[in-house]
Amino acid sequence: MSQIRDLIIDRIKSIIINVDGCKSNVIDEKLVDDIVVANRKAFISIRADKSNIEKYKQLKIKVEKVLENIDDLDSFSVTLTSHEDNPLSKNQSNKSTKKGIDSISNIIAVASGKGGVGKSTTSINLALAIKNLGYNVGILDADIYGPSIPKLVGENKKPKVSNQGKILPIIKYNISIMSIGFLISEDTPMIWRGPMVISAINQMLNDVDWGVLDFLIVDMPPGTGDVQLTMAQKVPMSGAVIISTPQDLALIDAKKGLEMFKKVNVPIIGIIENMSTFICPHCKEETYIFGKEGAEFEAKRQNVDFLGGIPLEVAIRETSDAGEPILSCYPEASVSKSFLSIAQKVVNKSDAKGKSNNPNLIIQ
């Protein structure tokens, strides 16, 4: 795959452009934001300056032309991504690439094969639980199609930009939070195409001033399509946690999620079973609405760890709707303790093991 990428770079490099009166090329001028190759498809995004869009449209056509007829590539797509600055007239040599995430020790994907299984609810409570264990934590809402972290934490402030031009994450409950939901209005229908999603995620990873983090929890978009696969491949994940409800149908999707991460060599930290059981608030009787221990069984079958179950509880839904996660409202509740126990397992299985006594230490 990297050979195809190299070939793409070589071909694009052959496009000569004129910058401030000197001859240069598209690659050296860092006009290409991203090149992603997955499943014999390539996605190329070009940094475009809105005020000079015609020029960039011509450049896009030139790039498409040089990318024709590459063996082992079924299709490609070139998109223009908008940036405030003007790459054609500025020296971009100090543009940070992965620098912003050098300071993050562990990036953990929280994923599910499908939506509505409690992925976002689990992500935010897991982030808070890891924070409670003494670590520096951030959460990145990568669910570009349905960002729900702003609602779950009751925030809709627009993030500020630092003097260095980095986006400052929203800080709440002592964790750093970034979501596309902070940047676009809830009613704006967004039609995201694959490369744009990757570009937006890259921006939220690299152009956000995350500071030093022990853990960045990434609430992934639901599903296992090309976008999710590319994201799993592009974002330097240290591991993935899969959320599933216990019923067979959800487990089929969870399995697809597991396979997707395995395919791109991201280690599976384990499976969490959400809505595992319902305890009646009146008579305390336990009901297995979605079946019993399905995720635990599937974890065994897939030879991955079962991290624990979270019951279906009215208080979880109520606190989520109220914009204050249960771990923050009721840290002593039994479900909060379940999140803490899961968080401890996640920490134990990651690189930051044993760091909680000295959370500000940077592990190199």
Ligand X SMILES: Nc1ncnc2c1ncn2[C@@H]1O[C@H](COP(=O)(O)OP(=O)(O)O)[C@@H](O)[C@H]1O
Contact set with ligand X (CB under 6 A): 112, 115-121, 148, 274-275, 310, 312-313, 316-317, 320
319 binds Mg ion (CB under 5 A): no
Give the 3-state secondary structure of residue 301.
helix
User: What is the Rg, in whole angstroms, of the alpha carbon atoms belonging to the chain?
Assistant: 22
Say which entry of Mg ion, ligand X, none residue 292 contacts (CB below 5 to 8 A, set by partner kind).
none
Q: Is 123 in the site for Mg ion (CB under 5 A)?
A: no
116 binds, among ligand X, Mg ion, none (CB under 5 to 8 A by kind): ligand X
Supply the minimum distance, in Å, between the C-beta of residue 312 and ligand X: 4
Instruction: Tell me the C-alpha distance between 93 and 17, whole Å.
Output: 17
Query: Between residues 120 and 233, which has the closer beta carbon with respect to ligand X?
Result: 120
In angstroms, give the least distance from the CB of 72 to Mg ion: 36
Burial class (CB in 10 A: 0-12, 13-18, 19+), 65: exposed
Contact (Cβ atoms closer than 8 angstroms) between residue 182 and residue 206:
no
Measured at CB, which residue is nearest to ligand X? Answer: 118
Say whether residue 121 binds Mg ion (CB under 5 A). Answer: no
Secondary structure (DSSP) of 171-218: EETTEEEEEHHHHS-TT------HHHHHHHHHHHHHSB---SEEEEEE
Asked whether position 238 contacts Mg ion by CB under 5 A, the answer is no
String marking each residue 124-143 x if it binds Mg ion according to CB under 5 A: -------------------x
Of 115 and 134, the one with the shorter C-beta distance to ligand X is 115
Q: Convert 155-165 to b/e letters by CB count within 10 Å (16 or more is b).
A: beeebeeeeee
Residue with tokens 């993935």: 240
Q: Which range of residues in 27-35, 118-126, 200-208, 280-288 is near Mg ion by CB under 5 A? A: 118-126
Is the CB of residue 293 less than 8 Å from the CB of residue 246?
Answer: yes
Q: Which does 117 bind (CB under 5 to 8 A by kind): Mg ion, ligand X, none?
A: ligand X
Q: Which of ligand X, Mg ion, none has residue 181 at its interface (CB below 5 to 8 Å by kind)?
A: none
Instruction: Summarize as ranges the residues that interact with Mg ion (CB under 5 A).
Output: 119-120, 143, 148
